[in-house]
Every structure is written in structure tokens, then in C-alpha cells.
Structure 1
Amino acid sequence: MQARIYKRPKNAMQSGKALVDQWVLEFMPAEAKKADPLMGWAGSGDTQQQVQLKFPSQEAAQAYADKYGITAITHTVPAKRLKIQAYADNFR
């Protein structure tokens, strides 16, 4: 069973930073999705890809994966660099 661990990104539709400090463990799909012949919906028999586990830190998520024998790939977040500017810099 494979999973990926990542930090939840900031919601692009809101300026707030709620829930961005959570780490998520999400399982990789075990089988490809196929179209239902009657309705045309995409689906599969794999229910693990519907599971999202939330953790307060990356270490907690990795410890959970190690405890239950889950092969986890961690996606680290690059450091955010802020370009500090003042309005007066426009007139230099």
C-alpha cells in the first residue's frame, strides 16, 4: 500500500490561512478508474483512495505510516519567500 504525505495548500479562494498547518496522508489509487457503462461515471472498486488522514506534523504522519507498514512518499513544501516592498519604492 502506497501513500503520499503533503502539507495542505492555502485555499486560493480565500485570504485566510486556516488548516494550512495540517499534514495529510492520502493513499495512492490501487487500480485505474473505469467508466460505468450505464451512467458514464468514473469509478473503481478501490475505497482506500477516498481516505484522507490529517496530522498536526509531518513526523506524526510518517510515524503512522511506519507503524502500519505503509510506504509513504513525503512532498515537502518549499520555503515561502516574501518580497517586501513599500509603496515609496515605486518612485525611486
Structure 2
Amino acid sequence: MTARIYQIQKNAMQSGKALTHKWMLDFVQSEPRKPDPLTGWTGSGDTQSQVKLTFPSQEAAVAYADKYGIAYEVIPTPPKTLKIQAYADNFR
């Protein structure tokens, strides 16, 4: 039962930075998904992969994992890079 701790990134459809300051703890899937022969939906007996916990800081997530004896891996936040570009650059 290992967990990943990472900061939530904004998705491509999001222009603002809402909820990107929160940290997420979720569990790595321990068994592969398999298709149901009757419906064709994929499923697994692993219920831990459905658990997603949010925390206000990385330290709070690490403290939670340490308190309950959960093995974890902290994934660092990638640096934010801005590509400054002017509209006039389209016509060079």
C-alpha cells in the first residue's frame, strides 16, 4: 500500500489557479484492472485506488502518512515556466 503525494496541477481547460495550492495523497493501484465479461466495464478489487485525500500543505500530507504508517513517495512540483509572447511575433 504505497501512496503518492503531489500538488494538484491545473488542467488544460482551466485558466485560473483555483485549487492548485492543495496537495493530494492517493494510493497506487495494487492490482490490474480487468474487463467484466458481462458488461465490458473494467474493474478491480482494489478499493484503495479510489481514495483521494486533499491537504493544505505538503507537510500535512506527510504527517498524515507518517501517523498511519503509509509508505509514500513525494512527487515534486515541476517549475512553472512562462513563455512571454506578443501578438506582433506572429507576423515576423
**TM tier, smaller:** 0.7 to 0.9
Per the alignment, residue 49 of structure 2 pairs with: 49
State TM-score, norm by structure 2.
0.86
Q: Distance in 2 between matches of 1:87 and 1:46?
A: 50
Q: How does 1:1-40 map to 2 (within 5 A)?
A: 1-40=1-40
In structure 2, relative to structure 1, the CA distance for the partners of 1:29 and 1:87 (3 Å cut) is closer
- Number of residues paired by the alignment? 91
Shift >2 Å, 4+ stretches: 81-88
Structure 2: how far apart are the matches of 1:15 and 1:4? 26
Residue 71 of structure 1 and its aligned partner are, at CA, apart by: 0.6
Displacement of 1:85 after TM fit? 5.7
Shift of 1:49: 0.5
Q: Residue 63 and residue 39 in structure 1: after superposition, are their counterparts in 2 closer, same or farther (change >3 A)?
A: same
2:58 equivalent to 1:73: no
DSSP-derived class of the 2:61 partner: helix
Percentage of matched positions with identical amino acids: 65
In structure 2, the gaps of 5 or more residues are none
In structure 1, runs of 5+ residues without a counterpart are: none
Q: What is the deviation of 1:29?
A: 1.0
